Structure 1
Amino acid sequence: MQLTNRFLDFADQQLDPLVSRKVFSHLDLYLSAPPEQPGPPLILIQQWSSSSHALPATSVDIELRQTNEERRWYPLQDADLILGALHVELEPGLSWTKDLDEQMCRCALSISNALGRDLECMQLRKELHHERNQLKMLVHQLRNPLAALRTYAQLIIRRLGPENIHLPLIDGILTEQRQLGRYIDAIETLGQQKLPSGSDTSSPYLLPPDAAQQNKNLKELLIPLIERASATASLQGRQWHGPSQWPAWGGCSAGDGSTAEIVANLLENAFRYSPPGCAVGLTLLADGLCVWDGGPPIATDERQLIFRRGERGITSRDRPGTGLGLALARALAERNGGQLTLSVEPWRINTNLPKQGNAFRLSWLQPTLPAAIE
């Protein structure tokens, strides 16, 4: 059975000092065979011998399994599970001492712990390999319906004609299809290359740079999100309040696209977790923006909790979600020198917003820019 070199080196380090004392004619490391594997129940992994004589398999020499004045077996076990054994035979004429027996017991315990962790590691690697293969298959299968969506959207555009008022909806479908394609590409390369991140290992990962997006400004990246939010509100029977004017920063470079990632997560949370019928909106500010809803304010003891990875408010736990959206959004904001904060009195951010609700404000932490350009 295959074990890692790390474990075998550890076993050598534990047993070599005992072997060097030259009191053993044989010291052998056995591993328990899997129940379904035919053959001997114990498999010889390593052997230290004072002579060139090799021991026969325990299944051949029945006497080898028995203890006597010179031979002892020390089990390697994890709780009630027998993982293997150490077999020791003294040189002829020598006798066991309490000190030598205690040393062997300590070695057996250390090797048992290391063997248990090694077997767990190999099992996890096997499961990870299996899951990666499954993921590759699923990603491959996802590409087919995704390509079909693009084809159908392009056919609809042809039938509608260039002047049809519904063309922006189809353009939105194609934009979302391209974004899904980028996520699928990123998933497919997991384990092969790291997605871009900051020097801090706790920084969130972003998608690889998209050449098409790098040439866009913030306004061009945010407009598809605003159109998606408007369509979602219409389908859900909500009021949607989108921006009517754009601050000067709308013409700034989109950079790595993190602002769009943040806004996308904030809008998704607003629609998913605010009660049905509550208004949702995106308000643009001179030094940032805020996504708000008119629902009940988030409970006081949850207003910081919801920004932690995997944490969700009590009222949201019966709904689908991972608890990653707000944590990702705040981490992205802070990585770029900004802030993401929650206010349960949106009107304090902008007097046109509701007196009560939940407003997530993204601030650039830069000098105030000119108010509006159009």
Structure 2
Amino acid sequence: MAVSKRFLSLLQFQLAQFADRPDVTSLVVYVAEAGQGEAPHLVPVGQWPLANRALPALALDNPLSGAAELRRWLPLRDQGVLLGALRVDTLQLPWPEPLRQRLQAVALCLTEGLCLDLEQQRMQQQLTAQREQLGVLLHQLRNPLAALRTFGQLLLRRLDGDERNRTLVEGLLQEEQQLQRYVEAISHLEGGALVAAQGQEPTPLLLPPSLGGPTGQPLEALLAPLVQRAAATASLQARPWHSPDQLPPWQGDSGAVAEILANLLENAFRYSPAGTAVGLQCQARPSGGWRLVVWDAGPPIAAEERERIFVRGARGQRGAELPGTGLGLALARDLAHALGGSLELASSPAALDPDLPAEGNAFSLELPGPAAPAP
């Protein structure tokens, strides 16, 4: 097995501590390696004191203990698997008890180091294989997306004058563009370029940059297809849908706002019972900002879960048996904070507006007003 530079540094540090033992003349660390078509053998990877001569590899069936009268071998073994060996040459046998304990501790430390090296190599191989598979999937995914775009554009030409169906096809094309943005964003994840909330460390990764939008982009253009999709979903599920009276003329990172609302609407349709109403409300605020409310008339989320559902990986009782990762609301709140706003779960829709249902759930996204002009 190949060993890392970190293990070699650990090895040299562990062996060099025997410089105060004149009764120890030589220490050599070997690792087990299986050659192609050959029996496994031990390959030397480090020695003390340092010497210019190279040590030969040894076959495992070699009578190691008989190589020298004052030489002993300590196996580096993990759960019955031989990972290597520590060769010890001394001036006397048996070893004094302090020396024996010290050598055993070094052998244990080197064994743990080899185990960590093996685990790192295994994970690196697995990660490389997953990246290759992801690359193939992304390459293959582009073909059906291109076909959807082509067929949609052809269908759009044939619907000239049919405004009702033309709107549906335009919605399909917009969704295809969004999928294409996701594909491109995933393909750029190799470089690790992700957007983090302002003022925070890069740890809470949010959205790839290609899923955001330039500052000042109109929000209305991105919300219109979301509203159309919600209306179509409600129609298919035979449930009431309440569209907003107006779309906010807000400008900023509209791509991030659209991602938040898309997540909230998807949750509303997924977790509220069939037949219950779902709606989106947009309210202008006196400060110049906007409050966007996604609400449903389903059973309210339990009070003890209202904050926990915003924790990464946590899920509420209603969605425990449904597929999901428990990341959507956490990412949505992080995005809202990065925008300078907030995302909260109200006690009921009516608590935000008396015209909304008295029972249900309402997620309120507060967007800041325009920045004050510089003096």
The TM-score with structure 2 as length reference comes to 0.88
Instruction: Between 47-56 and 14-23, report the one with greater CA deviation.
Output: 47-56
Matched residues, number? 363
CA shift for structure 1 position 129: 0.7
C-alpha change, 1:225 and 1:50, in structure 2 (3 Å) is closer
The aligned amino acid for 1:84 is: G
- Would you say the 8 A contact 1:197–1:203 is kept in 2? yes
Paired residues of 1:58 and 1:65 also in contact (CA < 8 A): no
> Aligned letter for 1:263?
L
Conservation of the 8 A alpha-carbon contact between 1:209 and 1:256:
no
Residue in 2 that maps onto 1:16: 16
Point out the more displaced range, 69-78 or 289-298: 69-78
Corresponding residue for residue 229 of structure 1: 230
- Residue 64 of structure 1: CA displacement? 2.1
- Of the three residues 318, 333, 341, the one matched with 1:338 is 341
1:162, distance to aligned residue in structure 2 (A): 4.8
The residue number in structure 2 matching 1:194 is 193
1:308 paired with 2:307, answer no
Deviation at 1:74, TM superposition (A): 1.4
Q: Distance in 2 between matches of 1:271 and 1:244?
A: 20
Residue matched to 1:317: 320
Partner of 1:269: 267
Whether 2:361 is the aligned partner of 1:361: answer no
Taking a change above 3 Å as real, the CA distance of residues 210 and 32 of structure 1, as seen in their structure-2 partners, is: closer
The residue aligned with 2:58 is 58
C-alpha deviation, 1:59, in angstroms: 2.3
SS at match of 1:319: coil
User: In 2, Cα distance between the equivalents of 1:106 and 1:90?
Assistant: 17
Which has the higher relative contact order, 1 or 2, with Cα contacts under 8 A spaced 6 or more apart?
1
Partner secondary structure for residue 165 of structure 1: helix
| Deviates most, 283-292 or 25-34 | 25-34
Give, in whole Å, the separation in 2 of the partners of 1:32 and 1:234.
65
CA deviation after TM superposition for structure 1 residue 82, in Å: 3.1
How far has the Cα of 1:194 moved from its partner?
1.0
Question: Which residue of 254, 257, 260 corresponds with 2:255?
Answer: 257
Aligned-residue CA RMSD (Å): 2.6
Distance 1:211 1:99 in 2: 63
Quote the residue 1:327 is aligned against.
330
Query: Is the alpha carbon distance of 1:131 and 1:211 closer, same or farther for their aligned partners in structure 2, counting shifts above 3 Å?
Result: closer
- 1:210 Cα shift? 6.8
TM-score (structure 1 length as normaliser): 0.88
- Please list the CA deviations of residues 230-267 of structure 1 after superposition, one character each: whole Å capped at 9, or x if unmatched: 11111111110011134xxx223132521111101100
Bigger shift: residues 69-78 or 181-190? 69-78
2:204 maps to 203
Identity %: 44
Q: Indicate the SS of the match to 1:194.
A: coil
Counterparts of 2:213 and 2:369 in 1: how far apart (Å)? Answer: 26
Q: Does the CA contact (< 8 Å) of 2:64 and 2:73 recur in 1?
A: no
Distance apart, 1:165 and its partner CA: 2.4
Distance in 2 (CA, whole Å) between partners of 1:289 and 1:137 is 39
1:37-186 correspondence runs (5 A): 38-48=38-48, 56-59=56-59, 62-66=62-66, 70-91=70-91, 96-186=95-185
Classify 1:264/1:50 alpha carbon distance in 2 versus 1 (closer, same or farther; 3 Å).
closer
Letter in 2 for 1:59: A
Whether contact under 8 Å (1:75, 1:86) holds in the other structure is yes
Moved more, 113-122 or 59-68: 59-68
Q: Aligned partners of 2:317 and 2:223: how far apart in 1? A: 31
Distance 2:102 2:215 in 1: 65
The residue type equivalent to 1:208 in the other structure is P
Distance 2:244 2:50 in 1: 84
**Offset at residue 217 of structure 1 (A):** 0.8
Aligned partner of 1:295 among 289, 295, 298: 298
CA distance in 2, matches of 1:202, 1:77: 37
CA distance in 2, matches of 1:196, 1:272: 27
Greater Cα shift, 76-85 or 260-269: 76-85
Read off the aligned partner of 1:251 and give its amino acid letter: P
Secondary structure at 1:191 match in 2: helix
Secondary structure at the counterpart of residue 316 of structure 1: coil
Greater CA drift, 157-166 or 144-153: 157-166
1:4: how far off?
Answer: 0.8
Cα distance between partner residues in 2 of 1:148 and 1:161: 21
Most deviating of 12-21 and 270-279: 12-21
Q: CA deviation at 1:103?
A: 1.5
* Structure 1 counterpart of 2:151, one-letter code: Y
State whether residues 28 and 47 of structure 1, in contact with CA within 8 Å, keep that contact through their aligned partners in structure 2.
Answer: yes
Q: Is the 8 A contact 2:65 2:71 kept in 1?
A: no
**Cα gap change, 1:254 to 1:324, in 2 (>3 Å):** same
Write the deviation string for residues 309-328 of structure 1: whole angstroms up to 9, x where unpaired. 11112221221211111111
